[in-house]
């Protein structure tokens, strides 16, 4: 494994050249030396009465631009076939291509994909100091170090005070003494806090925050990469109001190729009434003001900045939340309801590896996630909690534990009601995720009229899988589907929808992909008269099947083809007759 030496910022030659240039300028200028030095050292300008500064490290950017090697500039990389066995072995324990990570420099360069105006942005000259807190459990060596190295290399040194890596009872040998020695030698600003047993993500973050001494806490996941000038945009809003939390834009690091790419150019965080994290469109006025920070109801959870003072005024995370799940809602609700503000900062971008699969088993027995959700709902959601329980009545059977400390936090901070939050912050959430779901167009089994013993089958299918099979009709959940009011088609109560990304070829595959409720490649309609399930806005393609090999796909519609005829268990014919006049958003 090849690890590149960290970039050393200040070299004697550069300093000497700088002094020489200063003397040349001084000889031809009447400006007093002390005034000239002050401007050159600080680079400060006054904008509308505020002292501001450009924090870009242009010297470092020039060095980065000359780096060569796999993965540089965030370009997709690959491994030779000779390393397939090593690749597969590491994939199993990490959920991503860890062997490829080992071939990529810890300080690899990344392309600048920020909004063009971010390069011109100035931030307050006096910003608070930051502590980066990174919890980890059995993280891979190079992805963990790349997280710390990228945060350090791309931060102004006087602003980044410390990097705290919180070891949540890792069992990999290299995460012990070897990690301590590496940090002491190469990255002394970083240190490891070790937990005595597996506490989980939430409590690990809490413990890291307790060890931090900086003004602002910045929480990162252990497989991330910070990009150009990521830190000042997070600190600037907090410097203006300490009751502000700021989230970066979260980009995607491909789990297979380590390609760095944008997830999108901004959405507002939200949730549905089963506590699945969702995203809402950016408001038109915020779109016009890009790349200025904009308000967001809910954070994604893992990457954000908050002043240490405000974090502890809010009681930190609820220590009764176990392992992971619900913490992003709890903290988001607390921030807003307890007189704070939460922003997304488009000029701060951090990449995140979304694993192909979770390689670690849950360390707790029982439904700890339902318990976490109930704790959040009972303390913060007031009468709105009923809409969660309406969809998940089983949660009511799970105990919450003692809530007195959390209720005291709400009382002590004189926090607002959840109704206030819904009406003033998440005011458009119910347009996308209504409190009570409108009725389906169709639901139940989807039976083939070409072979009535066969039905569409979703057994063992999850997100990104191809929905490609028919099975012997039955009443189990694998045969139950719904054509929802959002005009999408999905397995019953699923958050994955029938998605057709490409209509090329005679038999276009149908995938299961996260429901986006945006029509497009997830729009379906049932033609009652012809018994066809039509795809897309124009309805030129239909759900079809090869009865012989039980394959399901999409093909050009043919009203005479029996393999394109389907019978639903339940059809709301009145709604279907009015389909074209009904808005998919209630």
pLDDT over 70 (residue 568): yes
Span 116-161, pLDDT tens digits: 999 999 999 999 999 999 999 999 999 999 999 999 999 999 999 9
In this structure, is the dihedral angle defined by the CA atoms of residues 509, 513, 517 and 520, taken in order, positive or negative? negative
Is it the case that residue 8 has pLDDT exceeding 70? no
pLDDT for 74 beyond 60: yes
Select the more confidently predicted residue: 114 or 358. Answer: 114
pLDDT by residue (tens digit) across 252-303?
999 999 999 998 889 999 999 999 999 999 999 999 999 999 999 999 988 9
Q: Is 78 left (phi over 0), alpha (psi -120 to 50) or beta?
A: beta
Domain covering 442-578: architecture: Trefoil (2.80)
- Asked whether the CA dihedral 174, 180, 181, 186 is positive or negative, the reply is positive
pLDDT at residue 5 tops 50: no
**Alpha carbon 487 to chain centroid, angstroms:** 26
**Range 430-451 average pLDDT:** 93
Task: Tell which residue, 294, 297, 245, 249, has the closest CA to residue 271.
Answer: 297
Residue 438 token pair: 């409108």
How much is the pTM? Answer: 0.82
- Show me where the domains of the chain are located: 52-353, 368-431, 442-578
Q: In whole angstroms, how far apart are CA 579 and each of 291, 446, 519?
A: 39, 19, 13
End-to-end CA distance of the chain: 55
Q: What is the pLDDT of residue 295?
A: 98
Task: List all residues 6 or more positions away from 139 whose beta carbon is below 8 Å from its beta carbon.
Answer: 170, 175, 222, 223
Output the six-digit token pair for 165. Answer: 């890596």
Instruction: Report how far apart, in Å, the C-alpha atoms of 367 and of each of 16, 202, 394, 560 are.
Output: 63, 16, 10, 50
Q: How far is 146 from 485, CA to CA, in rounded Å?
A: 45
| Percent of the chain residues past pLDDT 90, beyond the cut | 79
- Mean of the pLDDT values across residues 510-523? 91
Report which DSSP code applies to 444. E
Cα separation, 346 vs 118, whole angstroms: 8
pLDDT class of 585 with cuts at 50, 70, 90: low
Mean pLDDT, rounded, of the chain: 90
pLDDT > 80? residue 457: yes
pLDDT over 60 at 226, yes or no: yes
Q: How far apart are CA 314 and CA 452, in angstroms?
A: 59
Give percent above pLDDT 70 in the chain: 92
> What pLDDT, on the 0 to 100 scale, is given for residue 332?
98
Helix axis angle, 327-337 to 201-211, nearest 10°: 50
Contact 227, 320 (CB under 8 A): no
Which helix (H) or strand (E) segment holds residue 378: the answer is helix 368-380
12-21, 354-363, 447-456: lowest mean pLDDT where?
Answer: 12-21
| Mean pLDDT, range 400-416, rounded to an integer | 97
The vertex-288 CA angle with 283 and 292, nearest 5°, equals 85
pLDDT at 14: 40
Q: 566, 449 in Cβ contact below 8 A?
A: yes
Q: What pLDDT, on the 0 to 100 scale, is given for residue 10?
A: 41
* Burial class of residue 538 (count of CB atoms within 10 Å of its CB; 0-12, 13-18, 19+): exposed
* Mean pLDDT confidence for 223-234: 98
pLDDT, tens digit (0-9, with 9 covering 90-100), for 175-198: 999 999 999 999 999 999 999 999
Given this model, what pLDDT does residue 383 score?
Answer: 97
pLDDT, residue 549, reads: 85
pLDDT at 461: 76
59-73, 258-272, 325-339, 464-478: which range is least confident on average? 464-478
Of 24-28, 218-222, 421-425, 574-578, where does mean pLDDT reach its minimum? 24-28
Res 174 pLDDT > 90: yes
Q: Buried b / exposed e across 413-438, counting CB within 10 Å, b at 16+? A: bebbebeebbeebbeebeebbeeeee
pLDDT for the residue numbered 324: 83
Query: What's the mean pLDDT in 548-559?
Result: 92
The pLDDT-based confidence of 428 (bands split at 50, 70, 90) is very high
Amino acid 364: pLDDT: 67
- What secondary structure does DSSP assign to 46-107, as a single string? EETTEEEE----HHHHHHHHT--STTTBT------GGGHHHHHHHHHHHSS-HHHHTTS-TT
Residues 6+ apart with CB under 8 A from 131: 161, 162, 163, 164, 212, 213, 214, 216, 217, 218, 308
52-353 topology per CATH = Spore Coat Polysaccharide Biosynthesis Protein SpsA; Chain A (3.90.550)
Q: Report the C-alpha gap between 259 and 326 in whole angstroms.
A: 30
Region 231-249: mean pLDDT is 98
Distance of CA 564 to the CA centre of its chain: 39
Residue 24: per-residue pLDDT: 37
pLDDT at residue 12 above 60?
Answer: no
* Pick from 143-152, 291-300, 417-426, 502-511: least confident: 502-511
HSE-CB for 408 with a 13 A CA cutoff:
6
- Looking at residue 365, what is its pLDDT? 63
Q: Please tell me the distance from the alpha carbon of residue 133 to that of residue 140, in angstroms, as a whole number.
A: 17
Q: How confident is the model at residue 366 (pLDDT cuts 50, 70, 90)?
A: low
Given pLDDT bands bounded at 50, 70 and 90, which one contains residue 6?
very low
**Backbone torsions φ then ψ of 570, nearest 5 degrees:** -130, 135
Hunting for tokens 């997280």 — which residue is that?
A: 147
**Over residues 389-402, mean pLDDT:** 93
Residue range 368-431 forms a domain whose CATH class is mainly alpha
């Amino acid at each position: 494994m090849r690890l590149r030496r960290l970039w050393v910022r200040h070299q004697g030659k550069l300093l000497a050249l700088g002094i020489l240039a200063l003397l040349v300028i001084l000889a031809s200028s009447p400006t007093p030396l002390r005034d000239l030095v002050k401007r050159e050292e600080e680079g400060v300008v006054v904008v509308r009465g505020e002292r501001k500064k450009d924090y870009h490290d242009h010297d470092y950017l020039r060095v980065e631009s000359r780096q060569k090697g796999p993965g540089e500039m965030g370009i997709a990389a690959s491994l030779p076939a000779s390393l397939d066995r090593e690749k597969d072995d590491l994939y199993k324990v990490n959920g991503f291509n860890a062997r490829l990570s080992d071939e990529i420099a810890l300080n690899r360069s990344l392309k600048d994909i920020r909004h063009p105006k971010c390069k011109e942005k100035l931030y307050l000259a006096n910003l608070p100091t930051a502590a980066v807190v990174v919890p980890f459990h059995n993280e891979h060596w190079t992805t963990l170090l790349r997280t710390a190295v990228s945060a350090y290399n791309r931060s102004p040194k006087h602003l980044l005070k410390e990097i705290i890596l919180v070891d949540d009872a890792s069992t990999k040998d290299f995460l012990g003494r070897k990690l301590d020695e590496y940090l002491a030698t190469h990255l002394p600003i970083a240190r490891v806090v070790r937990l005595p047993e597996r506490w989980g993500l939430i409590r690990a973050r809490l413990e890291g925050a307790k060890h931090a001494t900086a003004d602002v806490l910045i929480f990162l996941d252990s497989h991330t990469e910070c990009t150009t000038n990521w830190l000042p945009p997070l600190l600037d809003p907090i410097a203006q109001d300490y009751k502000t939390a700021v989230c970066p834009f979260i980009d995607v690091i491909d789990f297979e190729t380590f390609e760095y790419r944008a997830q999108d150019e901004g959405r507002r965080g939200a949730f549905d009434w089963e506590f699945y994290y969702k995203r809402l469109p950016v408001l038109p006025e915020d779109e016009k003001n890009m790349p200025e920070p904009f308000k967001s109801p809910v954070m994604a959870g893992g990457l954000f900045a908050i002043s240490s003072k405000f974090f502890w005024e809010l009681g930190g995370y609820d220590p009764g939340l176990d392992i992971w799940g619900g913490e992003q809602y709890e903290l988001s609700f607390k921030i807003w309801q307890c007189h704070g503000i939460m922003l997304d900062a488009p000029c701060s971008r951090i990449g995140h590896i979304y694993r192909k699969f979770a390689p670690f088993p849950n360390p707790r027995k029982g439904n700890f996630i339902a318990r976490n959700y109930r704790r959040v709902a009972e303390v913060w959601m007031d009468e709105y909690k009923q809409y969660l329980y309406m969809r998940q009545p089983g949660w009511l059977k799970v105990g919450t534990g003692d809530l007195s400390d959390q209720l005291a936090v709400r009382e002590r901070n004189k926090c607002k009601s959840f109704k206030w939050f819904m009406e003033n912050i998440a005011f458009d959430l119910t347009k996308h995720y209504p409190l009570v779901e409108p009725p389906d167009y169709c639901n139940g089994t989807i039976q083939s009229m070409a072979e009535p013993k066969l039905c569409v089958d979703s057994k063992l299918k999850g997100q990104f899988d191809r929905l490609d099979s028919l099975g012997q009709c039955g009443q189990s959940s694998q045969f139950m589907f719904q054509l929802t009011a959002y005009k999408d088609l999905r397995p019953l109560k699923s958050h994955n929808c029938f998605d057709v990304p490409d209509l090329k070829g005679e038999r276009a595959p149908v995938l299961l992909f996260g429901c986006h409720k945006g029509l497009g490649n997830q729009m379906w309609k049932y033609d009652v008269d012809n018994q066809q399930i039509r795809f897309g806005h124009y309805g030129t393609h239909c759900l079809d099947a090869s009865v012989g090999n039980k394959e399901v796909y999409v093909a050009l519609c043919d009203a005479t083809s029996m393999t394109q005829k389907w019978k639903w268990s339940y059809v709301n014919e009145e709604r279907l007759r009015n389909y074209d006049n009904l808005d998919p958003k209630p």
